Amino acid sequence: MRIDLTCLRTGLLLALVAAATLPGSARGAEPTESAAAAGENKDGADWKTWQVNNEVTDVASVQRGARNFVSYCMGCHSIKYERWSRLGADLGIPAEVLQKQLIPPGDKPTDYILTTMPAKDAEAWFGKVPPDLSLMARARGRDYLYQFLKTFYVDSTRQTGANNLRLPTTAMPDVLSELEGLKRAVFRDVQERGEGGEVNHTLVFDHFEPVAPGRLTPAQYDSFVRDTVNFLDYASEPTQAARRSLGLWVVLFLLLFTWLAWQMKREYWKDVH
Ligand code: HEC
């Protein structure tokens, strides 16, 4: 009995080529803008069904999200369980770029990602200390964060001038309005007759109406939010990106191994009639 070596070698080569090209092409895949808002109602009527569809293995997107976080969130929020150096290593950000563009002046790479806003001031300004965002993606869910960042609306009855559908009467100001623009929420008055015959009114959200445009188009804003949520998703479990890409190699190895075992079996049983 002789194992057909040429056949084995070609197979091995094919598997290796597949293994070498697959993760590469996955990494090169850019999230398309049209996929961003695909299926979403422009006026927000279906906001409860919005899904972020982020991909934590998309390192470029997580990098953009990190930049968004530093520019727009870190003034109030920390990610206190992660160090800058870890962030740099995980996302492949060179040390000089990390120091120059992300780390606040005076902080070291070994420092944790902390906001400079003193908790006492935050309490006085917002009535609440902005929560640490380290575990927020896991605590609330990624779609929740996406919906939260996309359903701020103008509300003059609130101290911040803004309100939110996902977290009504939120203390967080509409910090992304400069990018997204301003929108108004239109509510429907739904009347129901109670048991005693009295009429109960409830205001139910109907749709958003644009008030003023922002710097980004709706599709660009969706991408911005998706990247930001992608970053928070990564931060909530920094090992997951590495673990998932390792998973791909494990699956490829198993496929190759199955194929080899099958070839062996075929060889061994060839002469058995
Ligand atoms: C000006 C300060 C400020 C900035 C900037 C800010 N936030 Fe907040 N954020 C708050 C405050 C205050 C709360 C607490 C809100 C509450 O509990 O009502 C909050 C709460 C949150 C929550 C928790 C919501 C929940 O369900 O409890 C998330 C998530 C969040 N912020 C994300 C972000 C992101 C992402 C950014 C950057 C794009 C950001 N925030 C920028 C002040 C801020």
Q: Is 72 in the pocket of ligand 1 (CB under 6 A)?
A: yes
Q: Is 172 in the pocket of ligand 1 (CB under 6 A)?
A: yes
CATH 3.40.50.970 fits domain 46-238: no
Q: Is 205 in the pocket of ligand 1 (CB under 6 A)?
A: no
Q: In ligand 1, which atom is closest to the CA atom of 167?
A: 26
- Within its chain, how far is the Cα of 166 from the centroid? 17
Q: Is 171 in the pocket of ligand 1 (CB under 6 A)?
A: yes
Instruction: Report pLDDT digits (tens) over 57-80.
Output: 999 999 999 999 999 999 999 999
Upper half-sphere CA count for residue 206 (Cβ side, 13 Å): 9
Q: In ligand 1, which atom is closest to the CA atom of 122?
A: 12
Specify the pLDDT at position 244.
75
Please answer whether residues 221 and 179 qualify as being in contact, where contact means their C-beta atoms are separated by less than 8 angstroms.
yes
Q: In ligand 1, which atom is closest to the CA atom of 166?
A: 26
Q: Is 141 in the pocket of ligand 1 (CB under 6 A)?
A: no
Residue 126 CB burial class (10 angstroms; 0-12, 13-18, ≥19): middle
Listed as ranges, residues in the chain with pLDDT below 50 are: 1-3, 20-36
Specify the pLDDT at position 28.
39
Specify the pLDDT at position 239.
87
Q: In ligand 1, which atom is closest to the CA atom of 229?
A: 35
Q: Is 126 in the pocket of ligand 1 (CB under 6 A)?
A: yes
**Residue 77 alpha carbon to ligand 1 centre in Å:** 7
Specify the pLDDT at position 242.
72
Q: How far apart are CA 107 and CA 110, in angstroms?
A: 8
Domains of the chain by residue range: 1-27+248-273, 46-238
Q: Whose CA is closest to atom 10 on ligand 1?
A: 172
pTM value?
Answer: 0.80
Specify the pLDDT at position 5.
52
Specify the pLDDT at position 245.
74
CA angle in degrees (0–180, nearest 5) for 176-181-183: 105
Q: Whose CA is closest to atom 37 on ligand 1?
A: 73
> Ligand 1 test: best mutation among 52, 67, 74, 76, most atoms within 8 Å of CB?
76
Q: Whose CA is closest to atom 1 on ligand 1?
A: 76
Q: How far apart are CA 209 and CA 42, in angstroms?
A: 10
Instruction: Report pLDDT digits (tens) over 98-132.
Output: 999 999 999 999 999 999 999 999 999 999 999 99
